[in-house]
Structure 1
Amino acid sequence: MYKTVAQTAVDLNMPEEQILYYIHNGHIKAVYDGEQFLINSGQFDMYHEQIERIKEEIDIWRSTPIPEDIDVKDED
């Protein structure tokens, strides 16, 4: 499925200028139809999967309790 630069910017949560910069530098593949760039959204599937995996790992890390140090001695 092809999307415009504006739609891709919303999907990736980036400014349109940054998307255009990536297109011009070859980081994002796009087709120019004479009026606008069209971007195949399938090239971002792995990006979205990695973002979701990272979010899950951060949630696990945040919910893991800090273990008590076994070397701490209670001195009164």
Structure 2
Amino acid sequence: MYISIEELASYLNLPVEYIKQQLALGNIKAFQNGEEYVFNKNDFSWHKEQLELKRKIAEAEMNEPIPEDWDAKDED
């Protein structure tokens, strides 16, 4: 199934500008349909899973309490 840049950005929960930038850099593959680029949605399913995993890890780290500051004194 082929989707537009806007649909891909929504699917991956990323800004459209980021998708366009990655396309210009050659980091993602697209097909040109006239003046519009289309993407194979199946090519991005693994990427979506990895993004969701990284978001969960980042959220868990953000919710982790900050350890109490300990004062390391030099005993010498």
- Residue of structure 2 equivalent to 1:9: 9
Could you tell me the percent identity over the aligned residues? 31
Aligned pairs for 1:1-76 within 5 A: 1-54=1-54
Q: 1-side partners of 2:7 and 2:31: how far apart?
A: 15
Give the C-alpha shift of residue 59 in structure 1. 8.4
Give 4+ residue runs of structure 1 displaced > 3 Å after superposition.
51-62
Q: 2-side partners of 1:20 and 1:55: how far apart?
A: 22
TM-score, normalised via structure 1 length = 0.63
Q: RMSD across aligned C-alpha pairs, in angstroms?
A: 2.7
Q: Deviations over 1:24-67 (max 9, x none)?
A: 111110011112000111111111233444566678887xxxxx
Greater C-alpha radius of gyration: 1
Structure 1: gaps spanning 5 or more residues: 63-76
